[in-house]
Structure 1
Amino acid sequence: MVAFATLAMALTAAGSGHTQWALVAGLICAATLLFGLTVMTTTVHRDHVERHNAPSLLNDTWESTPAFVRRRGAPQAIEPRLTR
C-alpha cells in the first residue's frame, strides 16, 4: 500500500516537473518494495525450514505437517539421506 502511494507521488512529481521529489519518492518506493519482498521471502523460508503448513506473517501458531504426509510423497530411492 505504501509502495503504491509513493509510486503515485513519484509519477505526479515527475509529471509536474519536480525531478528531485520524484527521485526521492521513487527511492522510497523501491526501498519499500525491497523491504516487503525481503520480509516475505524470509518468512516463507523460515516456515519451510520449520515445516509449517502454510507461510503466515500474522499467525503465531502453526500446525505441523504430520510425519507420514511428509514421507509419503517421494519413493525411498530419491529421498535425501542424512550424513553423520
Structure 2
Amino acid sequence: VVVIGFAIGLSGLAFLQHATEASEYTLILLLFLVGIQLRNNGMTLKQIVLNRRGMIVAVVVVVSSLIGGLINAFILDLPI
C-alpha cells in the first residue's frame, strides 16, 4: 500500500495538487480531537506535560523525524 501511494504521489496527477494542505488540516483536526479526548478523561495539562514517559516518547519521535528529514533531504538533494 505504501509503495502504491508513493508511486501515485510521484505521478503528479492534477487531483493531488492540494494533498499537502489536506493532510496538514487532517493532522491538525486529529490533534484537536486527541486534546478533547484527553480532557474528557479528566487529564489536566499539567498531568500531560509532567508525564515523564510521554515526554520521552515525544522527544524521540521529534528527533527521529528530524533525522529522517535530514537523510531524505540529502538523498533528494533538497535544501536543509
- TM-score normalised to structure 2 length: 0.38
* Bigger helix share: 2
- TM-score normalised to structure 1 length: 0.36
Question: If you compute each CA radius of gyration, which structure gives the higher value, 1 or 2?
Answer: 1
Higher relative contact order (CA 8 A, sep 6+): 1
